[in-house]
Amino acid sequence: MINRRKLLRASAAGAAGLAAGPFVIRDLHAEDAVKIAGIHDTSGGLDIYGKQMVATLDLAVNEVNESGGLLGRKIQLINYDPQSNIQLYTQYATEAATKEKVAVVHGGITSASREAIRPLLKRFNTLYFYNTLYEGGVCDRNIFCTGSTPAQTVEKLVPYVQKKWGKKIYTIAADYNYGQITAKWVKKYAQDNGGEVVQTDFFPLDVTDFGPTVKKIQAAKPDLVMSALVGAAHISFYRQWAAAGMNKQIPLASTTFGNEIVITSPEEHNGYIVAFGYLEGIDTPANKKFVEIVHGKYGIPHMTELATMTYHGLHLWADAVKKANSLDRVKVIEALEGGASYDGPAGKTTIDAKTHHDILDVYIGEARDKKFVVLEKFAQQQPADTQAVCDLKKSPNENKQYVIDVKT
Amino acid sequence: MDYLVILLLQIGSAVASLVLMSIGLAVIFGMMRVINLAHGEFLMLGGYAAITAFNHGVNLWLAMVVVAPLAVGLFGAVVERLVIRHLYGRLIDTMLATWGLSLAMIGFVTVVFGNTVSGISAPLGSLSIGAYRTGAYEIFLIGVAVLLLVAGWLVLRFTRYGLIARGTMQNPAMAAALGTNPSAVYAVTFAVGSALSGLAGGLLAPLSGVVPTIGAAYIAKAFITVISGGAAILSGTAIAATLLGAINTLATFAFTSVLGEVALLVAAVVLLRLLPQGITGRFFRRAL
C-alpha cells in the first residue's frame, strides 16, 4: 500500500533524478562541443515569438552540425526560458557567460530584455546577437543586431501606401520607445513625400478598448491608418476596427502586424499592407524549404522576421567562426565586420561594420487569407537610422543605445 | 449631428462595458461583503468558456449567453462551497484566498490554453450613422447591460428570492431567525454573481480577445465602479458606471486614451473623497 510518506519519498527521488539528468548528459559532450546559448521567452506573454525563435535557432544549429560542425566540433545549444521576466534574463545571461562559458548568446525579444543583458555580456566578454526588429540606435561592438529598424521598413512603406491610398495618415502606436520612434519616422517620411500625419495616438500595451479611437479616426478622415501597435492586448484594435466595418472604408498599413495574422480572421485583416525584413510569402526555393521545415518539423503556424533573423544570425555567426578559424571573440567580431554576409530565406543579409546592424532586403506585403503575399522587394537597405548616430569603426568603445532624434 | 450621435453611442458602450465588468462583483460584494479578488479571472474564464464552446461548434450566441454563464456559475458554486463559505465575515482572509484563487486560475488556464491570445470576431456586422460607422455588437452590449440592470431590479424588488436576499443582506441574523438559511442564500448569490461575471466575460470576449492574464485589465475598473457606486447594488453600479464611463469617453475623445484612463481614476478618487460611502451612500439611499 502506498501511504503518504512512501509517496513523498518516491516523488522526491523522482525529482532528484530529473534534476540530475541534464548534468549527466551535458558531461558527455562537455569536452568537445562548442556551447552556445539561446535566451528566448517560451512562456509568458511573448511566447508566441520565443517559441519560433527557439525552433529556428535549433534548425540552424542542426544544419551547421550536419554539415560538419564548427572547427571540427559540434555546436551544443543551451536554451533558457526567461518566462517574459527581465530578472531571469540577467540571471540566465550570467549563467551562460560564466558557468557555461558559451561562445555566443542569441536572444532577447523586447528592447528592455536586450538592454538588461547587453551590458552584462559585454562585461563578461561574451558575444551577443540580438535578432529582433527594434527601434534602432544600439551602438556597442559586442552586439550584432540582425533585425530591421524603422528607417529600413518605414522609409519604404510610407511612400508605397501614400502612392496607393493618399497622403493623409493617422498614426496609432504603442506607447513605449519602439512606438514613439516609429511614429516619428512615419511623420518624417510622410512629410518628405509631400503628405502629412493628421494625428498620432499612443496606447499603453495593456489597452484593449479602442472604441473611441475607431470613432476619432473616422472624424479625422485620413486616407490611411498607420499602425505600430504591439502585443496581445492591441489585437483588439484590429477586431474593433473590423467590427465597425472600417477595414472596408479606410485602408491600414503597419510595421508591426505580423503574428496577428494567425489570430485575426481573413475578413479582419485582408488588405492590410506591411513591411518587414522577412515575410513568409517570399517566393524563393530557399524560403519555401525553410517554411516547410519550420511548419512541419517544428509545428510553428506562422513565421515572422524575428525567427527568420534568428536563423540568419546563427548562420552569420557560424560562418564568421569558420572564417576566423577560431572561437576567440575579437577574431569572430573582426570576421563579422569584414563584410560577413548570409543568403537565406530572408534574402541577403550583410553585417554593416560601422553599426553592427544588418543591411537587408525589405519586403512590402499584403495580408491575404492568413498569409502575407509579397508585393515588392527593396534589396539591400542600409540601417540609416543607426548609421546616423553610431560609428564603431571610429569609436569602437561606444556602449550605449542612442535615442535617434528624427528631424521632422 | 452624426458626430454627437456617435459620441453618445460611444459613451453608452463605455458605460455598458463598465456595467458588464462590474455587475457580478457588485452582486457578490454588495450582498455578501465578500471581496472577490478573483473577479477578473471569473470574467476571463467566461471568455474562455465562450470561445472554447464556439470552437467546438456551438452557436456563438449560445456560447456567449448560455455556456459562459453556466460554466462560470458552476465554477463559482464549487468555489463557494470549498473556499468562500469557510471565510464569511473574515474580510482580509477572503481577499487573500480569492487572490490565491486568481493566481491559481491564471496558472491553470495558461497550462490548458497556453499564454496566447484567443479570440472570436464580433458578430452582427456594422451599421452606419451618417458619415460614421460603428459595430452593431457594441449597441447590442448596451442593450444587454440595460436588460441586466432591469432584470436584476425586477428580481430583487418583486420576487420571493429577492425579498429573502435583501433581508439577508440587511441583517443575516434576523433573516435566519425568521427561518431563512443565510448559508443557502449566500451560496446561490455567489453562484449568480459568478454566472453574471461569466456572461460578461463571454460577451466582452469578441471585443477584447482573451489571454489568461486579461483579468488584470478588468478588475481595477470593476472595483472602482462598485466602490464608487456604494451600497446599492444595481443603481449604485449603474450611476457610477454612467459617470465614470462618460468621463472616460469624453476625455479620450478630447485628448488621448491615456488621459481618458487618468480622468476616470481622478474622478473616482475625487468622488470617494467627497462621498466615502460611494454615491448611493449619500444619494438614493433606499435604492436597490
ipTM score for this prediction: 0.78
Give the distance from residue B126's alpha carbon to the nearest chain A alpha carbon, in angstroms. 5
Q: Which residues of B touch A51 (CB under 8 A)?
A: none
Which grid cell is B287? 435604492
**pLDDT for the residue A26:** 45
**pLDDT for the residue A310:** 95
CA distance B265 to A369: 41
pLDDT tens-place string over residues B203-223:
988 888 788 888 888 888 898
Which residue type sits at B123?
P
Of B41, B26, B7, nearest to B248 by C-alpha is B7
Radius of gyration of chain A (CA): 22
Q: Contact B217/A208, CB-based, under 8 Å?
A: yes
Q: Contact A215/B6, CB-based, under 8 Å?
A: yes
CA distance B219 to B216: 5
Asked if B23 contacts B152 with a C-beta cutoff of 8 angstroms, the reply is: yes
Q: Which residues of A touch B121 (CB under 8 A)?
A: 239, 242-243, 265, 267-268
CA distance B145 to B137: 12
Three-state DSSP class for B34? coil
Burial class of residue B11 in the structure, from the number of CB atoms within 10 Å of its CB (0-12 exposed, 13-18 middle, 19+ buried): buried
CA distance B257 to A214: 12
pLDDT in tens, chain B (288 residues): 777 888 888 889 889 999 999 999 988 888 888 888 999 999 999 999 999 998 888 888 988 889 999 999 999 999 998 988 888 878 888 889 999 999 999 888 888 887 667 777 778 777 877 777 788 888 899 999 999 999 988 988 899 888 888 888 888 888 888 888 888 888 888 999 999 999 999 998 888 878 888 888 888 889 899 888 887 888 888 999 999 999 998 888 888 888 888 999 999 999 888 888 888 777 776 667
**pLDDT for the residue A22:** 44
8-state DSSP, B65:
I
**pLDDT for the residue A37:** 94
CA distance A107 to A115: 11
> Quick check: B12 contacting A, CB < 8 Å?
no
Q: Give the CA distances from residue A349 to residues A139, A208, A391, in Å, rounded to whole numbers and listed in that order.
A: 19, 36, 19
CA distance A404 to A385: 7
This prediction has a pTM of 0.80
> Quick check: B55 contacting A, CB < 8 Å?
no
**pLDDT for the residue A8:** 56
**pLDDT for the residue A145:** 94
Asked if A363 contacts A284 with a C-beta cutoff of 8 angstroms, the reply is: no
CA distance A128 to A329: 10
pLDDT tens-place string over residues A382-400:
988 888 888 888 888 888 8
Give the distance from residue A261's alpha carbon to the nearest chain B alpha carbon, in angstroms. 12
pLDDT tens-place string over residues B65-119:
899 999 999 999 999 989 888 888 788 888 899 999 999 998 888 888 876 677 7
**pLDDT for the residue A19:** 46
Give the distance from residue B213's alpha carbon to the nearest chain A alpha carbon, in angstroms. 9
Question: Which residues on adjacent β-strands are paired with residue A107?
Answer: A39
| Cell 488621459, residue located | B259
Which residue type sits at B195?
A
Q: Can you list the residues of chain A whose pLDDT is less than 50? A: 1, 17-30
Of B35, B23, B85, B116, nearest to A42 by C-alpha is B116
Three-state DSSP class for B83? coil
Q: Contact B135/A244, CB-based, under 8 Å?
A: yes
Distant-in-sequence, close-in-space partners of A84: CB < 8 Å, separation ≥ 6: A41, A43, A44, A45, A46, A47, A50
CA distance B111 to A222: 43
> Quick check: B108 contacting A, CB < 8 Å?
no
Distant-in-sequence, close-in-space partners of A298: CB < 8 Å, separation ≥ 6: A52, A55, A56, A58, A59
Size of interface A-B (CB pairs under 8 A): 117
Which residue type sits at A277?
G
- What SS3 string covers chain A? CCCHHHHHHHHHHHHHHHHHHHHHHHHHHCCCCEEEEEECCCCCCCHHHHHHHHHHHHHHHHHHHHCCCECCECEEEEEECCCCCHHHHHHHHHHHHHHCCCCEEEECCCHHHHHHHHHHHHHCCCEEEECCCCCCCEEECCEEECCCCHHHHHHHHHHHHHHHHCCEEEEEEECCHHHHHHHHHHHHHHHHCCCEEEEEEEECCCCCCCHHHHHHHHHHCCCEEEEECCCCCCHHHHHHHHHCCHHHCCCEEECCCCCHHHHCCHHHHCCCEEEECCCCCCCCHHHHHHHHHHHHCCCCCCCCHHHHHHHHHHHHHHHHHHHHCCCCHHHHHHHHHCCCEEEECCEEEEEECCCCEEEEEEEEEEEECCEEEEEEEEEEECCHHHHCCCCCCCCCCCEEECCCCCCC
Q: Contact B115/A43, CB-based, under 8 Å?
A: yes
pLDDT tens-place string over residues A161-174:
998 898 899 999 98
Which residue type sits at A230?
V
All structural domains of chain A, each given as residue ranges with its CATH number in brackets, are 13-148+283-361+381-401 (3.40.50.2300), 151-276 (3.40.50.2300)
**pLDDT for the residue A5:** 61
**pLDDT for the residue A23:** 44
Q: Which residues of B touch A240 (CB under 8 A)?
A: 122, 135, 207
Give the distance from residue B258's alpha carbon to the nearest chain A alpha carbon, in angstroms. 7
**pLDDT for the residue A1:** 47
Of A66, A62, A123, A130, nearest to A97 by C-alpha is A123
Taking the CA atoms of A43, A47, A51 and A56 in sequence, report the sign of the dihedral they define.
negative
- The string over A102-114, giving b where at least 16 C-beta atoms fall within 10 Å of a residue's C-beta and e elsewhere, is bbbbbbbbbbebb
**pLDDT for the residue A17:** 46
> Quick check: B249 contacting A, CB < 8 Å?
yes
Asked if B169 contacts B186 with a C-beta cutoff of 8 angstroms, the reply is: no
Q: Which residues of B touch A249 (CB under 8 A)?
A: 133
**Nearest chain A residue (CA) to B107:** A44
Q: Which residues of B touch A218 (CB under 8 A)?
A: 6, 131-133
**pLDDT for the residue B256:** 81
> Quick check: B272 contacting A, CB < 8 Å?
no
Of B143, B150, B209, B125, nearest to B9 by C-alpha is B143
**Nearest chain B residue (CA) to A199:** B256
Give the distance from residue B114's alpha carbon to the nearest chain A alpha carbon, in angstroms. 8
CA distance A252 to A14: 54
Count the neighbouring beta carbons within 10 Å of the beta carbon of residue A26: 14
Of A206, A211, A249, the CB nearest to B10: A211
Which residue type sits at B119?
G
Asked if B230 contacts B277 with a C-beta cutoff of 8 angstroms, the reply is: yes
